[in-house]
Amino acid sequence: MTMPHVRPFGPGATKMKFTSIIIILCAALALAGCTLIPQYERPAAPVAARFPGTQNTNAAPPVTDRSWREIFPDACLRRLIEIALTNNLDLRTAILNVEQSRAQYRITRSASLPSVAGSGSSTRAEANGHTGNEWNANVGTTAYELDLFGRVRSLNQQALAAFLATVEAQHSVQLSLIAGIANAYFTLREAQMQLELATQTVASVQEAYALNQATFAAGASTEQDLRTAEAQVETAKINVLEYQRRVAQSQHALEPLIGQPLPADLPEPLPFADAQLVAEVPVGLPSDLLQRRPDILAAEHTLQAANANIGAARAQFFPAIKLTASIGATSSQFDQLLSSSSGVWSFAPQITVPLFTGGQNRANLDSARISARIDVANYQKTIQTAFREVADALVAAHNYAAELEAQVVLINAQRVRFNLATARYRQGDAAYLEVLSAQQDLYSAQQSQLATQFNKLASQISLYQALGGGWQ
């Protein structure tokens, strides 16, 4: 239903100015009161009240009060992370997605305000042998929806929640990037330490091989001992080649993450065996995850967007009122275009009542409600996944710490055994196979210690990531 009203300005007529139209539109804005969005309630977290092996306490400071620089004290690793936060293409894409989502939200929000446009035209025409000019100037609004039932505002809230979900997705990419760089860095450090150990072992077995050559030449040992020592040297050399390959491959894995070749001026790294290479991560209640895991926050924003969409679907059942207004002037003489006698104005409210839509509105509402229920399930599943990741990381970090302590004792025992076997062999009281066995067991224990040290660091990184990182 349309109610147009067009009236010329005249000396005795009511002179409605453009400001009057703006006042009317502002009054219409004030009438837009309620929304039909359901009251949002955060779904219950379907997890236990506390993590396995932890006490139900909030005494530990939350991870959200600590930046990644505090979590990773190694200056070399910090430099790599700083480079990656500038150059990494995945993070750059995530940031651009945020900018695009922000622009989309601004587009949606613009529907809350009337749009005003100006136009002008000139017409020269001939009729019945007479030629005349007509000049027109106009300023007016396009059809502006009077948001009495909150449809537009529901869409605004939906767009805002979608934007916030994109922001958290960017945080999630950044968190994964930091954790990925830390893992790749420590993979490289372990390979370097394994290469150093293999190189030291080559030197040790070459010394033993030289001793076997001397004793064999003097007739004090058998050729079997000599060839055993020779095979030990070649095996150690093969190990060196293997870890050289692993070092190179680990460097290649780091470069795409930081977005450039590894700089030559990186700071000196901390010793790999440093117990504080990764700062201990405090663990609070499982409910803390709801406040700091970016994937959980993104899932909740998605749920809030679905909730707002229900309000927009409900509003479709009610009448829609749109307003169109303009003010302008028309004249046959350009110099008289702005005179008071040439002005015209119009104000045209329009109301649309949904009488029959073939069930479309009902279907839209049902679809919006089902989407919200799906998002609830996804939100709760995200929480369950987060809880499991934290629990697994806690168990792994504790287990590897205990394993490292046991391996220190084992290496000390194997080193004593190797020294005794070497002394017995030099005195002629033991065969070289006894030395070989002791040396191999010592080397294996040292390799396992380096691998466990990496696994402990990796578990601490996983815990940091599972808890949502440290945002400041």
First-last CA distance in the chain: 55
The Cβ-side half-sphere exposure at 334, using a 13 Å CA radius, reads: 6
* DSSP state, residue 185: H
Would you say residue 9 has pLDDT above 60? no
pLDDT digits (tens, 9 = 90+) for 294-315: 999 999 999 999 998 888 888 8
52 residue type, one letter: P
The Cβ-side half-sphere exposure at 353, using a 13 Å CA radius, reads: 3
Q: How many CB atoms lie within 10 A of CB 23?
A: 11
Would you say residue 1 has pLDDT above 50? no
Cβ-contact 361, 317 below 8 angstroms: yes
Q: What is the pLDDT of residue 126?
A: 66
Would you say residue 51 has pLDDT above 70? yes
User: Which residue, chain included where needed, has tokens 């479309």?
Assistant: 360
pLDDT digits (tens, 9 = 90+) for 401-448: 899 999 999 999 999 999 999 888 888 788 888 888 899 999 999 999
pLDDT digits (tens, 9 = 90+) for 204-217: 899 888 888 888 88
- Encoded tokens for 99: 């900018």
Cβ-contact 263, 254 below 8 angstroms: no
pLDDT band (50, 70, 90) for residue 176: very high
User: Which residue, chain included where needed, has tokens 């939350």?
Assistant: 62
366 residue type, one letter: D
| For the chain, domain boundaries | 32-122+134-318+354-466
Indicate the helix (H) or strand (E) that contains 53.
none
* DSSP state, residue 2: B
Q: What is the pLDDT of residue 144?
A: 67
Fold that domain 32-122+134-318+354-466 belongs to in CATH: Outer membrane efflux proteins (OEP) (1.20.1600)
CA angle 12, 17, 22 (to 5 degrees): 145
Please tell me whether the overall predicted TM-score, pTM, comes out greater than 0.85 for this model: no
pLDDT digits (tens, 9 = 90+) for 55-89: 554 444 444 457 888 889 999 999 999 999 999 98
Q: What is the pLDDT of residue 13?
A: 40
